[in-house]
Structure 1
Amino acid sequence: MARDEIPATGTLWRLAAIIGMALAVATLAEPLARRYPDLSALQLWAGPLRDAGFSVACFAGAHLAHGLTARRLLRRRKGRRAVPKVLLDLLRFVLFAVAALASLSLFFRQDLSGILTGSGLVLAVLGFAIRNAVADVFSGLAMGIEAPFRIGDWVRIETLAEGRVQEIGWRTTRLVTRDSTYVILPNSQISARRITNFSAPRQEYRDHAELTLPADLPVAEAGRLIAEAAGAARTISVGKPPEVQVTDYGPAGIAYRVKYWVPQHDRELACRNEVLSLIDAALREQGIRLTAERMPCGEGQDSASAGRASGEARRPIRPASAEAR
């Protein structure tokens, strides 16, 4: 539920007044009929007025309870995320279902157990006919309760899509990708995949890239050069300087990993492009050439395989995926 859909205070007071009037009609109809037996119209309509009053009170009470709960849950507090819309929709459905069952029990003079039994059979038949849609709905409820992501979060659904969450519905979840493509995914498929949320627990996270420099370049000088170049980037998070680590060391070259903070996921590519561009410019200015990536320690190569490896095109600077936060 959007904030502009939350019932206003005046609406809630009107609902409370309607409940009071409906209960007054329901409770006074039969006493007035007994007090004035000469009024045939009152004698005729006393029962229906009582049932209608209680029914109106039930539905107005359900609406009032939903409005009060929504105002309570959607009140934004610092450090608290918004309540999923699907939970509020589920609350509305439960409240109005209870009101409808109570009204049916009043009008048809039947016990609620009989009504529930009959409706249960109908729901069983319908559930079998639309079992795929039911699976999507229950998956949506599960995601609404667990809340692995919220509207506005950047997420990656394994093997399906990556984008910003636009809407979380009963059956489907809608994403907008970086290319402004609208992707609609069934909730049952999302619940069966691994979900990566780039916006939780906070918007910013740390990404990194790796590069290999010649072994004759001192580690301290290389680290300072890389850190100064990456630190000049304007797209990365302010106040969190990049870190440079040595990940591999050998006569063929020294591998470095530069870590930097991305403010939010939609700026990841811009941050990576600027960081790598600045590092490339700094290295070229100093006349330093990158070294081809070496095989990890412990993996031997014979002369033939080493010759093939040296002839292959390999990326000297390798952007890495986002780190676990």
Structure 2
Amino acid sequence: MTNTAFRTRWRVLIPASLALTAFLLIAALAVPLHALMGERLQAVLTVDLIRQVASSLALFAGARLTMLILRQRLQLRNKGHRPVPKVVLDVISAVVYTLVAIVSLSLFLRDDLSGLLTGSGLVLAVLGFAIRNVVADVFSGLALSIEAPFRIADWIQIETLGRGRVVEIGWRTSRLVTQDSTYVILPNSQISRQKITNFSAPRAEYRDSIEMTLPAEIPVTDARNLMKLALRGVRSLIADRKSEIHVLRYSPQGITYRVKYWVPRHDREADCRNEVFCAIDRTLRERGIRIAMPPVGAMPEPEVEEVPGAREPA
């Protein structure tokens, strides 16, 4: 751990630790503190009230210290890897602070706590029905974070919605940046109902392909050797991954080949495809071979729409 990271870590943890220690001391020394107060303060601040307030504050300080340590652990464990989604940390924080709040209320209300929780449950049920779409987005975001079909920095394609690199997985929405640097915000509930293609998992590299049609006069073996020779000069492809060339079909225009090659990551796909086309085209032209083109048929004559009531000229 570097000195800067060490100082940042303890600059955050020390205040929470001191606050927790201070509140625990106040709760333990409630009786001496109450004796030092004046008569008016003693009538307002009883020993039990001092202990309850100090204990409640100590619980929140302990929760804060716990979350800080947990965030530090997760960041250190995932250093150099894909970061933990923000929504997961938010859910953990919400659960911890909710439990602390319930325990704190139990210190003050005791027997009245059950009635308060019942009334709060009814209010939450009404609010949940009113904002059911928001609730659906939130639970979908939580499910996406737990199941993790994609993570931050992954390149994904969401059917009918868009394609891009994931920059944030939030409570209600997930945010993508496309290859054209367009910022796309998508509701989580819509993402969960669509087909998701992850181009970065389980590995960043994957195989792409192009199709080319060459004249039938060129033997298949010669055509494949020429295209393999052209691919050797494409530096953007993964060098230790073998490219493949297969005959796809025969047609009146010639023989169609499918060239399969390995792309290092999704944002390089367009560049790799462009370089593959250029390399094969250059190699073929140097040997006087022209890529076969489909025949251009006659343009169909436009249909004349009849106008009601019109008569043909005499």
2:55 and 2:131 map into 1 onto residues whose CA distance is: 34
Q: Cα offset for 1:44?
A: 4.3
User: Mapping of 1:139-288 within 5 angstroms?
Assistant: 139-248=140-249, 253-288=254-289
User: Mapping of 1:1-325 within 5 angstroms?
Assistant: 8-30=9-31, 40=39, 41-42=41-42, 44-45=44-45, 46-76=47-77, 80-110=81-111, 112-248=113-249, 253-291=254-292, 311=297
Bigger mean CA offset, 250-259 vs 207-216: 250-259
2:77 and 2:261 map into 1 onto residues whose CA distance is: 31
| Structure 2 equivalent of residue 318 of structure 1 | none
Q: Cα deviations across residues 118-164 of structure 1 (Å, max 9, x unaligned)?
A: 22111101101111111111111111111111222111110011111
Structure 1: 5+ residue runs without aligned partners?
294-308, 314-325
Q: Cα deviations across residues 203-235 of structure 1 (Å, max 9, x unaligned)?
A: 221101122323332222111100111221122
1:112 and 1:201 map into 2 onto residues whose CA distance is: 49
2:55 and 2:161 map into 1 onto residues whose CA distance is: 50
Structure 2: 5+ residue runs without aligned partners?
300-314
Q: Given the two structures, how large is their TM-score scaled by the length of structure 2?
A: 0.83
Count of aligned pairs:
292
Bigger mean CA offset, 10-19 vs 121-130: 10-19
Q: Given the two structures, how large is their TM-score scaled by the length of structure 1?
A: 0.80
Aligned CA distance change for structure 1 residues 247 and 238 (closer, same or farther; 3 Å): same
Q: Cα offset for 1:251?
A: 8.2
1:85 and 1:7 map into 2 onto residues whose CA distance is: 20
Paired residue secondary structure (1:58): helix
1:30 and 1:47 in contact (8 A); partners too: no
Paired residue secondary structure (1:109): helix
1:38 and 1:155 map into 2 onto residues whose CA distance is: 65
Aligned CA distance change for structure 1 residues 95 and 244 (closer, same or farther; 3 Å): same
Q: Cα offset for 1:69?
A: 1.5
Q: Which amino acid aligns with 2:221?
A: A
1:85 and 1:168 in contact (8 A); partners too: yes
Q: Cα offset for 1:31?
A: 7.1
Bigger mean CA offset, 138-147 vs 72-81: 72-81
1:62 and 1:95 in contact (8 A); partners too: yes
2:78 and 2:84 in contact (8 A); partners too: no
